[in-house]
């Protein structure tokens, strides 16, 4: 399991140590292959791998989601599937493509946040949600702890006060500058809804563009001692750079209000550690094309079983921010994660193999 203390530090010392991690994962893969050979000698035909002859195309929306995708890809490859290069698409486009069959799956579907995308892409007739890939993912608004403590700011509603809002003004127009979501992301809909609902339009400006470029500027301002106000989520490297309770703090909302597409969401659904963050505590699940899911019981079982701890994803994302951000680096991180979690990974593959075998009998 990744942790910022035991894994991140040694991995950031150089590519050589990453190569060592990949080598370990490669050795594990070889051992897995040797086991398959043994099974063949015992009478099992390796050509009968459940994914043999089937190509799979995954997708994700931001590069930070490639790591979790690659972990699933490694499982699919063990099952005999040929995994094509993943496609990086905007969330709305990605959901439509999965519904239409151009993409087979994504490991980056937020069950609550992406409900509108799900319904608009065919819903239950065209798509299958399965498993709980990353549980208890969070979203919300944060400010720097120093400003929060100096001015007693605990709720985003306090930004209705022009004097409080002006603390976070970066362009001289008197409004608080909120580092927000890319146009087209699910969180954009929530933020825009809440700015209206909480009466913040006159005092808060939603800065949109490329989120990670905006966050780089936000972090620079924080490091210069300036107040900062931003939207973020977990898992993400931001929580490793600006730590909750040390550098920054969550802001509460006055009451729960979300776009109607997200259905009935109660205050209990948006509250974490006694704070109402305003966004539903969510789950990232694997979303698959319905036809692919129905025709590939081995892959379906893998999708159901696969799960990665949220802290591991955030820790890997921090490696990316520190420069290990090429597709090859990220694949290496996934291979190293599998090597460190070989027993659980092998259990996913074993159960998926069994599901495929049972369906073929």
User: Looking at the domain covering 4-134+284-360, what would its CATH class be?
Assistant: alpha beta
pTM for the predicted model, two decimal places: 0.79
Higher-scoring residue by pLDDT: 34, 155: 155
Does position 166 have pLDDT exceeding 70, yes or no? yes
Residue 37: the pLDDT is 37
Contacts 24+ apart (CB under 8 A), 116-125: 116/186, 116/189, 116/259, 116/261, 116/262, 117/91, 117/92, 117/186, 118/287, 119/261, 120/92, 120/95, 120/96, 121/95, 121/96, 122/290, 124/290, 125/290
User: Looking at the domain covering 137-276, what would its CATH class be?
Assistant: alpha beta
**Number of helices and strands in the chain (H, E):** 16, 13
Residue 177: the pLDDT is 98
- Contact at 8 Å (CB) between 74 and 264? no
Q: Under DSSP, is residue 167 helix (H, G, I), strand (E, B) or coil?
A: helix
Query: How confident is the model over 211-251, as pLDDT tens digits?
Result: 999 999 999 999 999 999 999 999 989 988 999 999 999 99
The domain spans of the chain are 4-134+284-360, 137-276
Query: How confident is the model over 59-110, as pLDDT tens digits?
Result: 999 999 999 999 999 999 999 999 999 999 999 999 999 999 999 999 999 9
User: Are domains 4-134+284-360 and 137-276 of this chain identical in fold?
Assistant: yes
List Cβ neighbours of 213 (8 Å cut-off, separation of 6 or more). Answer: none
Residue 38: the pLDDT is 37
């Amino acid at each position: 399991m990744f942790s910022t203390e035991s894994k991140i530090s040694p991995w950031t010392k150089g590519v050589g140590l990453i190569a060592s991690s990949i080598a370990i994962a490669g050795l594990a893969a070889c051992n897995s292959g040797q086991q398959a050979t043994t099974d063949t000698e015992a009478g099992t035909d390796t050509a009968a791998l459940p994914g043999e002859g089937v190509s799979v195309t995954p997708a994700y929306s931001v590069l930070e989601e490639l790591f979790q995708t690659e972990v699933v890809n490694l499982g699919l490859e063990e099952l005999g599937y040929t995994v094509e290069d993943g496609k990086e698409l905007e969330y709305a486009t990605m959901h439509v493509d999965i519904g239409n069959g151009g993409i087979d799956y994504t490991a980056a579907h937020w069950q609550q946040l992406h409900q509108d995308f799900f319904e608009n892409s065919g819903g239950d007739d065209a798509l299958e949600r399965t498993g709980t890939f990353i549980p208890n993912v969070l979203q919300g608004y944060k400010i720097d702890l120093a400003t929060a403590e100096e001015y007693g700011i605990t709720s985003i509603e306090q930004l209705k006060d022009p004097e409080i809002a002006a603390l976070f003004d970066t362009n001289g127009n008197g409004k608080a500058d909120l580092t927000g979501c890319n146009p087209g992301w699910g969180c954009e809909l929530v933020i825009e809804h809440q700015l209206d609902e909480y009466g913040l339009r006159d005092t808060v400006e939603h800065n949109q563009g490329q989120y990670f470029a905006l966050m780089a500027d936000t972090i620079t301002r924080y490091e210069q001692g300036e107040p900062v106000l931003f939207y973020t989520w977990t898992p993400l490297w931001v929580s490793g750079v600006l730590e909750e309770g040390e550098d920054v703090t969550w802001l509460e909302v006055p009451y729960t209000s979300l776009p109607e597409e997200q259905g009935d969401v109660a205050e209990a659904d948006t509250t974490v550690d006694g704070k109402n963050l305003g966004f539903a505590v969510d789950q990232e699940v694997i979303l698959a094309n319905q036809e692919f899911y129905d025709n590939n019981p081995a892959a379906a079982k893998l999708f159901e079983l696969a799960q990665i701890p949220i802290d591991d994803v955030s820790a890997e994302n921090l490696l990316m921010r520190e420069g290990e951000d090429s597709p090859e680096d990220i694949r290496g991180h996934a291979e190293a994660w599998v090597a460190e979690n070989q027993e659980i990974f092998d259990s996913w593959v074993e159960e998926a193999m069994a599901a495929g075998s049972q369906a073929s009998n």
